[in-house]
């Protein structure tokens, strides 16, 4: 879209550096005040020289006026400087050249002095004005270069479109800046900083295909089209980077979902089929009329059905807990909670094999922790179950709690094979078991749920190596206020 394209709402868009119809020419009052100041300065200088009565030569007086003209050129521009040169020449002729108080010149030397003075004053005024313009252009170029460097040095993936629009607004003293994008429904703002764009923005420049950078505010004169184009390009690239980052984040999220789905299907395919097959086999045996089962055999089959049902129930509970964690829908109700009561409740519902035993040291005089009792019980149960599966036969699993400066800590210690330091964070991912080549211990959700629940309560869960071999899970919870 070109700058001259018609924006929605009617009316042609103004090119950068033009004035709106009916707007006052910027700087008119400033130039009027400068002219008054120059005229007043020449009048005051003339009055001071006339009233002082100093016997200066014509050359000295001319040099004084030349200094005044140079000051006018440096502060007010070349036009006022040229006008001041002519006006000062008339004042010198009228007050300081014989015959006095006339515009006549009685000597050729005086005439030459006045003529040369006008030429020199005009030449110096033009030179001073050119130097001032070059300094201003250099300063503006330096500011533009610094601004562009600050924008372009920011990595593309970190460059904010709003930050670029802020630079545009601040650089040109606008009240608002926006990036517009064309579509079938017309131009729509992609991003806006400050006031929303009007139908006739002060600044408007193409930012690429279907994009236009606009800014509203006080009218400006002779805005640098090249600089505006560079800013518009930076804004377009920032928009592209933001969209690419959003697409990449969405792709990563989809990849994680696919990975989670694949792991779920692979793991559930085994873990659901196994207890279902056991239940089906036991029920079929109990329902078979031709089988003569003793009471002990019937009890064994019923115990197998009960154990398989418990496994399925635990599986469903873990999957529901994981789904709540994944979507951020976990409900947490923390309150002062006694740690020894929660540990006792968790161990009561934990099946401890005969070949294992627990060494529990959780003093009842510990301060209360700030936690959700139900979630904390589930965390302790999962950690103890994981430690029991990892511990070799005959080796105890230790539960030790103590108070420390950052809260209360509960350590669940086993003497199993342990986990290499490089893999300790990986075991907290869903569907990751201690050894991925086996499927003896369920879906591998216990540690993932334990950490998720712990962090939701404001605590932390960290694995470390047990001295002598094994794994120590340290659960840290804040003390109750």
pLDDT tens string 160-175: 778 778 877 877 778 8
Task: Work out the mean pLDDT of the chain and round it to a whole number.
Answer: 78
Does residue 305 sit in helix, strand or coil? helix
**Reported pTM:** 0.44
| pLDDT for 243 beyond 70 | yes
Predicted confidence band at 400 (pLDDT cuts at 50, 70, 90)? Answer: very high
What is the percent of the chain where pLDDT is above 90?
A: 10
Q: What is the DSSP string of 54-99?
A: ----HHHHHHHHHHHHHHHHHHH-HHHHHHHHHHHHHHHHHHHSSS
Question: What's the Cα-to-Cα distance from 94 to each of 42, 87, 175, 269, rounded to whole Å?
Answer: 13, 11, 52, 111
Q: H or E segment at 127?
A: helix 108-153
The rounded distance, in Å, linking the Cα atoms of 228 and 148 is 11
311 vs 216: which has the higher pLDDT: 216
Chain Cα centroid distance, residue 36? 51
Q: What is the pLDDT of residues 438-459, one digit of tens each?
A: 334 444 567 888 888 888 889 9
| pLDDT for 410 beyond 90 | yes
Pairing between β-strand 176-183 and β-strand 211-216 as defined by DSSP bridges: antiparallel
Residue ranges, comma separated, of all CATH 3.30.565.10 domains in the chain are: 330-477
Q: What is the DSSP string of 144-205?
A: HHHHHHHHHHS-GGG--HHHHHHHHHHHHT-SEEEEEEEETTEEEEEEEEESPP-SS-SEEE
Whether 339 contacts 410, CB under 8 Å: yes
The residue length of the chain stands at 481
The rounded distance, in Å, linking the Cα atoms of 305 and 283 is 8
Please name the residue that has the structure tokens 């965390």: 379
Fold of 330-477: Heat Shock Protein 90 (3.30.565)
């Amino acid at each position: 879209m070109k700058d001259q394209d018609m924006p929605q709402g009617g009316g042609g868009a103004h090119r950068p550096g033009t004035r709106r119809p009916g707007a006052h020419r910027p700087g008119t009052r400033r130039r009027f005040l400068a002219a008054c100041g120059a005229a007043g300065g020449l009048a005051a200088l003339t009055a001071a020289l006339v009233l002082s009565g100093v016997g200066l030569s014509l050359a000295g007086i001319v040099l004084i006026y030349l200094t005044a003209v140079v000051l006018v050129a440096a502060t007010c521009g070349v036009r006022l400087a040229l006008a001041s040169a002519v006006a000062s020449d008339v004042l010198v002729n009228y007050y300081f050249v014989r015959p006095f108080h006339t515009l006549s010149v009685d000597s050729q030397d005086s005439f030459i002095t006045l003529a040369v003075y006008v030429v020199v004053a005009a030449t110096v005024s033009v030179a001073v004005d050119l130097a001032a313009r070059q300094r201003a252009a250099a300063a503006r170029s330096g500011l533009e270069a610094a601004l562009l460097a600050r924008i372009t040095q920011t990595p593309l993936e970190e460059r904010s479109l709003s930050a670029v629009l802020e630079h545009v607004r601040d650089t040109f003293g606008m009240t608002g800046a926006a990036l517009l994008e064309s579509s079938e429904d017309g131009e729509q703002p992609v991003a806006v900083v400050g006031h929303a764009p009007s139908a006739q923005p002060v600044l408007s420049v193409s930012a690429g295909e279907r994009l236009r950078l606009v800014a509203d505010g006080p009218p400006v004169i002779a805005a640098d089209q090249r600089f505006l184009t560079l800013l518009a390009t930076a804004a377009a690239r920032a928009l592209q980077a933001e969209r690419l980052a959003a697409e990449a984040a969405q792709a990563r999220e989809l990849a994680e979902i696919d990975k989670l789905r694949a792991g779920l299907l692979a793991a559930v395919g085994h873990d659901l089929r196994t207890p279902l097959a056991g239940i089906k086999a036991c029920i079929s045996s109990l329902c078979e009329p031709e089988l003569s089962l003793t009471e002990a055999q019937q009890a064994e089959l019923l115990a197998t059905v009960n154990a398989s049902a418990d496994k399925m129930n635990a599986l469903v509970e873990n999957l529901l807990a994981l789904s709540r964690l994944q979507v951020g829908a976990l409900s947490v109700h923390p309150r002062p909670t006694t740690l020894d009561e929660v540990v006792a409740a968790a161990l009561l519902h934990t099946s401890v094999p005969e070949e294992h035993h627990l060494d529990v040291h959780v003093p009842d005089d510990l301060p209360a922790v700030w936690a959700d009792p139900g979630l904390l019980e589930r965390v302790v149960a999962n950690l103890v179950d994981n430690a029991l599966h990892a511990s070799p036969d005959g080796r105890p699993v230790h539960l030790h709690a103590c108070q420390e400066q950052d809260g209360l800590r509960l350590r669940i210690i086993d003497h199993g094979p342990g986990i290499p330091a490089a893999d300790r964070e990986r075991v907290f991912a869903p569907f990751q078991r201690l050894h991925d080549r086996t499927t003896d211990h369920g879906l591998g959700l216990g540690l993932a749920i334990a950490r998720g629940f712990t962090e939701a309560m404001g605590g932390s869960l960290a694995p470390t190596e047990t001295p002598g071999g094994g794994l120590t899970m340290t659960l840290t919870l804040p003390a109750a206020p």
